[in-house]
């Protein structure tokens, strides 16, 4: 049975993550929001520290790279596991309490690393160890419908030749490699979609531009073009076999692991807004009283209590999705529920906190306006709000993607 308290073995690690957020990420948050596309050099030291903790065994899965599901998970005679999925979401919540964009800019902690951890073979895990990997899925004509990917990968000897364009690649200008989703055969539909690790110095791969964005400005977002880009066949993640029954499901397993991570980002960012807003309300003479009915409290306090309840629901759904992954339980439904709830709640809370704080919330005197801008992307990437609701509906109703569109 899931225990909703932070596991004892993770408490020191989560505390370390909070200290890093408080002493390194948040103090630099405004600087790199204003200096868009400038690389935060402070993150090199932080990445080295995270690597050191992992090598010494005192780290418990920091950032996106700590996520992996192995054969036999959940078959321990009923013994409950608190593993890398749970430790990752807990640490991400703390880090995004500091700054979402800076977390997304951390070397070797990209969403592509989670893709590698999710579906790579043991040999590939060892070969790609230490690589900072971005994730390249979205295309100009293909956003939420990942099954409609047009980028192609054609086998030519012991290489695949990749052609296509990817947009909105997080850390695409800074990472060492990108995990590219491409189709082996468009006529075979979603079953032919595979993911490839493509290193940045590969001929035919070009970073076309970096986007200017509403939020997470400290994280670069790139457009990448592939023009007859030759990638070793050994860099195809998982099996090259096209299986009409489960081919795409193997690739989509990545989302079952990364969606709780994005949910955790939203939970952390929203918590930062709630804490600061409560402090500002208190300074203004508005106290939140948990012993009085909501209708007997000031409107601002009543609004705050509603936001806090929504936040709690998102937090618990995120823990559930991660815990299920650690214990080998299918979590596609829960991962989408967590992403949908946390993404929407995170954006709603940060915007309402700006409203409650008035001119202070709208100005740059505090980080509330920045958190509101940052939170919007967390309701969009890794599957939009609408796509998550569609996935949840399919799971609950037992419908296929063809039956319920």
How many of the other CB atoms lie within 10 Å of CB of 357?
23
Nearest C-alpha neighbor of 144 from the set 377, 355, 386: 386
Q: Which of 241, 364, 382, 403 is catalytic?
A: 382
> 187 CB contacts (<8 Å, ≥6 apart)?
none
Nearest C-alpha neighbor of 92 from the set 210, 258, 207, 230: 258
Question: What are the residues facing 153 on neighbouring strands?
Answer: 162
How far apart are the C-alpha atoms of 246 and 230, rounded to whole Å? Answer: 26
Three-class DSSP category at 195: strand
Which residue carries 């103090």 as its tokens?
27
Helix 247-283 vs helix 332-357: crossing angle, to nearest 10 = 20
Nearest C-alpha neighbor of 329 from the set 316, 320, 340: 320
Cα 121 to Cα 65, 109, 313, distances in angstroms: 15, 19, 35
How far apart are the C-alpha atoms of 199 and 125, rounded to whole Å? Answer: 15
Q: How many helices (H) and strands (E) does the chain have?
A: 13, 7
What single DSSP character describes residue 172?
T
Q: Quick check: is 382 catalytic?
A: yes
Which residues are designated catalytic?
Answer: 382
């Amino acid at each position: 049975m899931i225990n909703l308290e932070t596991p004892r073995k993770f408490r020191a690690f989560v505390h370390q993550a909070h200290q890093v957020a408080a002493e390194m990420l948040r103090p630099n948050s405004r600087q790199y929001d204003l200096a868009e596309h400038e690389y935060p050099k402070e993150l090199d030291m932080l990445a080295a520290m995270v690597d050191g903790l992992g090598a010494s065994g005192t780290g418990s899965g920091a950032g996106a790279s700590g996520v992996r599901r192995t054969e036999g998970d959940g078959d321990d005679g009923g013994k409950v596991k608190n593993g890398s999925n749970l430790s990752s979401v807990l640490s991400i919540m703390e880090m995004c309490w500091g700054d979402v964009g800076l977390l997304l800019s951390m070397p070797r902690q990209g969403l592509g690393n989670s893709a590698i951890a999710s579906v790579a073979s043991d040999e590939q895990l060892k070969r790609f160890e230490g690589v900072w990997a971005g994730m390249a899925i979205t295309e100009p004509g293909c956003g939420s419908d990942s099954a409609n990917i047009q980028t192609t990968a054609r086998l030519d000897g012991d290489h695949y030749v990749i052609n296509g364009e990817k947009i909105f690649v997080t850390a695409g200008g800074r990472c060492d490699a990108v995990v590219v989703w491409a189709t082996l055969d468009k006529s075979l539909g979603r079953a032919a979609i595979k993911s490839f690790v493509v290193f940045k110095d590969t001929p035919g791969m070009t970073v076309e531009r970096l986007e200017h964005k509403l939020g997470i400005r400290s994280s670069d977002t790139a457009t990448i073009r592939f023009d007859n880009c030759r990638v070793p066949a050994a860099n195809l993640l998982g099996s090259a076999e096209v299986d009409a029954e489960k081919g795409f499901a193997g690739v989509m397993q990545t989302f079952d692991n990364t969606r709780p991570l994005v949910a955790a980002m939203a939970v952390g960012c929203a918590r930062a807004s709630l804490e600061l807003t409560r402090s500002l309300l208190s300074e203004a003479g508005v106290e939140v009283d948990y012993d009085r009915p909501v209708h007997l409290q000031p409107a601002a306090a009543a609004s705050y209590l509603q936001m806090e309840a929504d936040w709690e629901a998102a937090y618990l759904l995120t823990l559930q999705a991660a815990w299920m992954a650690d214990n080998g339980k299918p979590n596609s439904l829960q991962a989408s529920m967590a992403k949908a709830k946390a993404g929407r709640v995170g954006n709603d809370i940060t915007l309402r906190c700006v409203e409650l704080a008035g001119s202070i919330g709208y100005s740059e005197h505090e980080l509330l306006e920045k958190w509101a801008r940052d939170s919007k992307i967390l309701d969009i990437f890794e599957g939009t709000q609408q796509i998550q609701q569609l996935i949840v509906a399919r799971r609950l109703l037992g419908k296929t993607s063809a039956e319920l569109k």
